[in-house]
Chains A and B, each alone.
Chain A
């Protein structure tokens, strides 16, 4: 294949860019992703997962089965934020914090201590 062949269609990353990342020490799909954006687009690596693993295997002379797949995350396909939030009334009792709230709480405690 040509070096300019596109492997990640979503982000338009070619073989040469992937090989450069491997040359710089990347050993997994996720290492390459963070350097090149390969696999970060709408399909979330569904198309490029195996071609990239094959390039790593060839380039590093490692059996394909030893190259881990990328970390898969929810959602499986894109989902509207509104659908995800549906049914959640508020998040006051959840693990979601507030930037403003934290600063004034911490500030009160620490200013008192420092007096």
Chain B
């Protein structure tokens, strides 16, 4: 129960308790300076952060400065795990296969660009891939490989962020939808199903629901909703060592498969046609999977900014309002939580984040919100 909701003014109200919102709540709370409220319309992990393969994926993120940001986040996860507990982070190394020998030149160009920011990529031949990961099909032509990529358990990560945040005094209000946000004499009034909360700062971390939250502040948030469908096998003995573009094996032995993208709004159904195509993709890539049993399919709504790149920082024109929305929240939560905390509490960030500002969309033709 959140107390004194009519009179109390929080230092910061975070809307959205997915991996991005809960990371910001935890990292802010670590400084012990802010009184923080974390609000969610549902329960943590009920949305995008709970329906993902949870790769921490670095090497093929372009332009290379976006790859660099992802690399720093991967770097932080190892330390974060020491602070908040085991979320099964494994820097397995990542393999992104290609099927045509003609793609090798593009792979070499990618390796050159990413190498400039310290992301070492090896462009492998078919035999080199098979030597690393014998289960991969000899039908591939080669792959890009980097030691930076890996994966984690998203359920553990978000639960541990919230547990640590609560321990540091963050108040949580779940199953409580925000219905409007008004700024009155410099203070944000966040109206919810369970009353009004006041805050000096407000952070929108709504993932695919960011557009609706932006509207409440009169701001257009340029993101698309994209459905991804994923298949899960029964637990299999460990046989995949690396995180492979499209497939990875969990600590429990289940293999998660899928890399589909459909624009169908908030529709989270799974469909037989995409499940079948996903099954074909998996068998073409790892033939032994043909004999594995699928126990479930699931889908999640990804959020993809219109230019594909993360959006985080201040909302231009509204002092005290911030946004953090990105496709790869699982990869980026550690660095984004860190940088947003620096921005709010210190007023400056250790990395230049101007490239990630919502401002970059201001030259788009005026859009109806």
A interface residues, Cβ below 8 angstroms from B: 25-28, 30-31, 34-35, 40-42, 44, 73-75, 78-82, 84-85, 87-91, 94-104, 106-107, 110-111, 114
Q: A74-B275, A79-B294 are in contact. Are A102 and B46 (CB under 8 A)?
A: no
Kindly state whether residue B12 has any CB partner on chain A within 8 Å: no
A-contacting 9-mer, from B78-86, B254-262, B335-343: B254-262
B interface residues, Cβ below 8 angstroms from A: 43, 45-46, 50, 57, 60-63, 96-98, 103, 106-107, 109-110, 113, 143-144, 155, 159, 172, 174-175, 231, 233-234, 245-246, 257, 259-262, 270, 272-284, 289-298, 308
A27 to B176, CA, bound (A): 13
28 A-B residue contacts at CB 8 Å? A25-B43, A27-B175, A35-B45, A41-B295, A42-B295, A73-B298, A74-B296, A75-B294, A79-B294, A81-B279, A81-B294, A85-B276, A85-B283, A87-B276, A88-B279, A89-B280, A91-B280, A91-B281, A96-B260, A97-B261, A99-B259, A100-B60, A100-B96, A100-B97, A100-B245, A104-B106, A104-B107, A111-B62
Q: Is the CB of A106 within 8 A of B290?
A: no
A104 to B123, CA, bound (A): 13
Q: Is the CB of A79 within 8 A of B107?
A: no
Q: Which residues of A contact B60 (CB under 8 A)?
A: 99-100, 102-103
Identify the 9 closest CB pairs spanning chains A and B, nearest first: A99-B245, A103-B60, A82-B290, A85-B279, A107-B62, A78-B293, A84-B279, A91-B277, A100-B96
Across the interface, name the chain A residue whose C-beta is closest to B292: A81
Q: Is the CB of A97 within 8 A of B259?
A: yes
Q: Is the CB of B113 within 8 A of A99?
A: no
Q: Is the CB of B155 within 8 A of A35?
A: yes
Q: Is the CB of B103 within 8 A of A104?
A: yes
Across the interface, name the chain A residue whose C-beta is closest to B244: A99
A27 to B62, CA, bound (A): 40
Q: Is the CB of B277 within 8 A of A95?
A: yes
Closest chain B CB from A104 CB (angstroms): 4
Out of B62, B97, B98, name the residue touching A106 (CB < 8 Å): B62
Secondary structure of the B contact surface, majority rule: mixed
Out of B57, B113, B174, B297, name the residue touching A74 (CB < 8 Å): B297
Out of A81, A98, A99, A104, name the residue touching B282 (CB < 8 Å): A81
Q: Which residues of A contact B257 (CB under 8 A)?
A: 81
A75 to B98, CA, bound (A): 30
Q: Is the CB of B43 within 8 A of A80?
A: no
Q: Which residues of A contact B46 (CB under 8 A)?
A: 30-31, 34
Across the interface, name the chain A residue whose C-beta is closest to B278: A96
Out of A40, A78, A100, name the residue touching B143 (CB < 8 Å): A100
Q: Is the CB of A100 within 8 A of B279?
A: no
Closest chain B CB from A44 CB (angstroms): 6
Q: Which residues of A contact B270 (CB under 8 A)?
A: 73-74
Q: Is the CB of A81 within 8 A of B175?
A: no
Across the interface, name the chain A residue whose C-beta is closest to B229: A95
Q: Is the CB of B63 within 8 A of A110?
A: yes
Q: Which residues of A contact B159 (CB under 8 A)?
A: 35
Q: Which residues of B contact A28 (CB under 8 A)?
A: 43
Closest chain B CB from A66 CB (angstroms): 13
Closest chain B CB from A32 CB (angstroms): 10
Q: Is the CB of A81 within 8 A of B233?
A: yes
Q: Is the CB of B113 within 8 A of A80?
A: no
Across the interface, name the chain B residue whose C-beta is closest to A106: B62
Q: Which residues of B contact A111 (CB under 8 A)?
A: 62-63, 113
A94 to B229, CA, bound (A): 13
- Which of A81, A96, A101, A111 has the largest number of chain B CB atoms within 10 A? A81
Q: A30-B46, A34-B45, A90-B280 are in contact. Are A95 and B293 (CB under 8 A)?
A: no
A92 to B63, CA, bound (A): 25
Q: Is the CB of B50 within 8 A of A34?
A: yes
Q: A25-B43, A100-B245, A111-B113 are in contact. Are A80 and B259 (CB under 8 A)?
A: no
Q: Which residues of A contact B98 (CB under 8 A)?
A: 98, 100-101
Across the interface, name the chain A residue whose C-beta is closest to B262: A95
